[in-house]
Amino acid sequence: LTGTSREQRAFQYVLAHAIPGDPHHILQTFDQWCYHCEHLSCVGPDKGRIVERVLLERAPLRVLELGTYCGYGTVLLAQGLPPGARLYTIEGDPRHAAVAEKVIRLAGFSEETVELIVGPSEEVIPHLREKHGLMNANFVFMDHWKRCYLRDLRLLESHQLLAEGATILADNVLFPGAPHFLQYAKTCGKYHCKVHRASLEY
């Protein structure tokens, strides 16, 4: 009825209630909206703790996120980056990217720390090195269309965009599920696999 999207409504709530420049409070405000108003398919606090823990363990300097959506996962990743690290995040939907851009900057992250790239992942990934200066990624967070997980992992491999010992963290591989990605990761011999059990967001 308002003519605004669910994502825009969530951002208006965050803008009205969150503390600018405080990433943790911005995520908490998103959580409040999602618990009490409308569901968004953000990572959420439960799975967010897994992301934070793995990020802390790895301390990567070059992070790639596939699927920015509203910027929730981006802010979560950015606040856990070690000094001097850079995050590249790819979003295929320009409307979602417009919201995410505002969320990321509201959280206090500059373009030097977080670069938001708008376009389909299969078109962006082959040009990450020459267009965006990403030589390779130490850490990849996949949270876009599940059917694209395997295709994009193979694209990252074929363009040598995965650093040696890189960590790939993929959300929702069991439900809604990314069975082909999971089978490849477990059987191709290139990766050590671990499934983190978690509840669905919100």
Count the Cβ atoms, other than its own, within 10 Å of residue 145.
Answer: 16
Distance, in Å, from the CA atom of 1 to the CA atom of 66, rounded to the nearest integer, reads 31
Identify whether 201 is a catalytic site residue.
yes
**Beta-carbon-side half-sphere exposure of residue 177 (alpha carbons within 13 Å):** 5
Q: Over the stretch 141-177, which tens digit does the pLDDT of each residue have? A: 999 999 999 999 999 999 999 999 999 999 999 998 9
Q: Rounded to two decimals, what is the model's pTM?
A: 0.97
Residue 114: inside a domain:
yes
Residue 133: inside a domain:
yes
Q: Over the stretch 29-74, which tens digit does the pLDDT of each residue have? A: 999 999 999 999 999 999 999 999 999 999 999 999 999 999 999 9
Residue 194: inside a domain:
no
114 DSSP β-pair partners: 87
Instruction: Find the catalytic residue in 7, 172, 190, 194.
Output: 172
Residue 176: inside a domain:
yes
Residue 197: inside a domain:
no
Instruction: Find the catalytic residue in 91, 138, 146, 152.
Output: 146
Instruction: Find the catalytic residue in 7, 31, 101, 201.
Output: 201
Identify whether 190 is a catalytic site residue.
no
Residue 202: inside a domain:
no
Residue 117: inside a domain:
yes
Q: Identify the domain containing residue 102 by its residue range.
A: 6-188
Distance, in Å, from the CA atom of 167 to the CA atom of 143, rounded to the nearest integer, reads 14
Q: CB–CB of 169/139 below 8 Å? A: yes
DSSP-derived secondary structure letter, 127: G
Residues, the chain: 202
162 DSSP β-pair partners: 137
Q: CB–CB of 142/51 below 8 Å? A: no
Instruction: Find the catalytic residue in 31, 91, 101, 171.
Output: 171
Task: Show Cβ contacts of residue 12 under 8 Å, excluding neighbours closer than 6 positions.
Answer: 4
Nearest CA among 20, 19, 23, 40 for reference residue 31: 40
Instruction: Find the catalytic residue in 7, 101, 143, 152.
Output: 143
Distance, in Å, from the CA atom of 135 to the CA atom of 119, rounded to the nearest integer, reads 19
Give the confidence band of 94 by pLDDT, cuts at 50, 70, 90: very high
Identify whether 171 is a catalytic site residue.
yes
pLDDT at 115 over 90: yes
**CATH number of the domain residue 122 falls in:** 3.40.50.150
